[in-house]
Amino acid sequence: MSAVTRLGILISGRGSNFLAIAESIREGRLKGVEIAVVISNVPDAAGLEKARALGIPTAVFDSKGRKRAEHDADVAACLKEQKVDLICLAGYMRLLSPQFVAAFPNRILNIHPSLLPAFPGLEAQEQAFAYGVKVAGCTVHFVDEELDHGAIVLQRAIPVLEEDDPHMLTMRILAEEHKAYPEAIAMVVSGEYEIRGRRFVKRSS
Ligand code: GRF
């Protein structure tokens, strides 16, 4: 990667993870990184306004009614034009085409609100709560062709409390996400790791 790693952040909604990454950069906790562009597939995603307010370039590629591969090709072209080194999915509610994944090998991260491989897919926090797990959390992982599946960079666990309800649990997991994502990005940007099979292993110096 170049001296400064350029992030492309893909969102569909609120954008709180994007904001947490932006804050980490602004506060100097996430070094050697800049956000090149925030891309949304939903034109009125709230996260877009937040990006504009911070003066971060945004792009919208409405995915409604479009073929996946064609939509993804537009997104990929934008990311390449913006010279993006690392793509961060942050609440991007759309499956990626195999062509898109292949175009950025080990260069796409996602955050998922469960301890994978438990509870992939939608409403992971509600799934975990309903299952009655005692420990929940979040996972930052590389993206491969399968949903919520690639090599795990980092996980954070929290206890499920007696007084939790699904909303409270979701909010406490989200607070962990906001710490975990910048931390995982820093680990990847450092380049000090190898992927052995499915295992993300830090290189000892
Ligand atoms: C987060 O819970 C993330 O783990 C999941 O979607 C949610 C996005 O929230 N993939 P936000 O848009 O970052 O606020």
The pTM of this model reads 0.96
Q: Is the pLDDT of residue 2 over 70?
A: no
Q: How far is the CA of 204 from the centre of ligand 1 (A)?
A: 32
Distance CA 60, CA 15 (A): 14
Residue whose CB lies within 8 A of the most ligand 1 atoms, among 50, 95, 177, for a mutation test: 177
- Longest Cα–Cα distance in the chain: 49
pLDDT tens digits for range 123-176: 999 999 999 999 999 999 999 999 999 999 999 999 999 999 999 999 999 999
Please give the sequence-ordered ranges of beta strands (E in DSSP) within the chain, or none if there are none.
5-11, 33-40, 58-60, 86-89, 108-112, 135-142, 152-159, 193-196, 199-202
* Inter-residue contact 154 to 184 (CB < 8 Å): yes
Superfamily classification of domain 1-104: Formyl transferase, N-terminal domain (3.40.50.170)
> Would you state the pLDDT for residue 26?
97
Same fold, 1-104 and 110-205: yes
Q: Can you list the alpha helix ranges (DSSP code H) found in 10-160? A: 16-26, 46-53, 68-81, 98-103, 124-131
> CA nearest 117: which of 128, 106, 126?
128
Distance CA 114, CA 126 (A): 10
Name the residue ranges covered by the structural domains of the chain: 1-104, 110-205
Q: How far is the CA of 175 from the centre of ligand 1 (A)?
A: 11
CA 175 to chain centre: 14
> Would you state the pLDDT for residue 204?
77
What architecture does CATH give domain 110-205? 3-Layer(aba) Sandwich (3.40)
Q: Is the pLDDT of residue 106 over 90?
A: yes
